[in-house]
Structure 1
Amino acid sequence: MVGVSFPLYSNSSNVKAARERRQSAELQVQQAQHDAEAELRTSYEQLQGLQEVIDHSDVKLLQESLALFKKALQQGEITALVYYVEINSIYEKLQRHIDLHCQSVKLLAELHRNEL
C-alpha cells in the first residue's frame, strides 16, 4: 500500500495567513506615513504661529525704551528703583522674544531635517 497526502488545506491557510500579514504590514506603513505627515503639518503650523508673534514684537522699540530710561536716570528724572523695575520688564520681554526665536529656529531645523 502506498499513500500520498496532499496538504491542500494547510497550504491555503498558510497563504491566507501570509496575505493577512502583508496587509497588516502595509497598513502599518500607511499609518506611519500618515503620522509623520500630521507631525510635519503640526510643526509647520506652530512655526507659522511663532513667526507671527516674532514679527509683531517690536524689538527696536524695546531697545529704544532702554536707552530712554537710561537717559532719564542719568538726568535725574527717575529714581534708580523705577529704572530697574522698568528695565527688568523690558529685559523679560526681550528674553521672551529670544526664546521664541530660538524655538522657531529649532522647528525650522526639524522641518528641514525631515525634508531630507
Structure 2
Amino acid sequence: MVRRDHLERAVLESLWGNPDGLTAPEVVDLLADRHLALTTVHTVLDRLRAKDMVVRERDGRVFRHRATRDREEMTADAMLAVLADSADHTLALSMFVRSVSPADAEAIRKALGGRRV
C-alpha cells in the first residue's frame, strides 16, 4: 500500500516539473511506474486542492492543475510545522543550527542578513 503523503508528494513533484499545469491523465502518464488509476489521481488532486496546495483551471473539456507554492516554500512550511511541535524552540533551533554543514550555516547567515548564527 502506498502511503498517502508519498503519493501526494509524487503528484506535487509532477506539477512542480510542469509549471503550466497538468491534467489528471497527464499525471497518470508521468507516474506510470506507479500503475495508478485515474480515479486515484483525481482523489489525490482533490485532497491537495482541499489543502490549498493545488489549484485547477478549466482548459477546454478538462481541468489543468498547478501547485500553488513551489517546492522550497513547502519545505519551509514543513520545517516551521516541525519547529511548532517543539516544546523549546530555542533548543530545537540551536540543535538544528549546530548540525548543519558549514555551507548551510553560511546560507542561514546570509538569509538572516549577515547576523551571526
TM-score range, shorter chain: under 0.3
**RCO higher in structure (CA 8 A, sep ≥6):** 1
Q: TM-score, normalised by structure 2?
A: 0.23
Q: TM-score, normalised by structure 1?
A: 0.23
User: As a proportion of its length, which structure holds more strand?
Assistant: 2
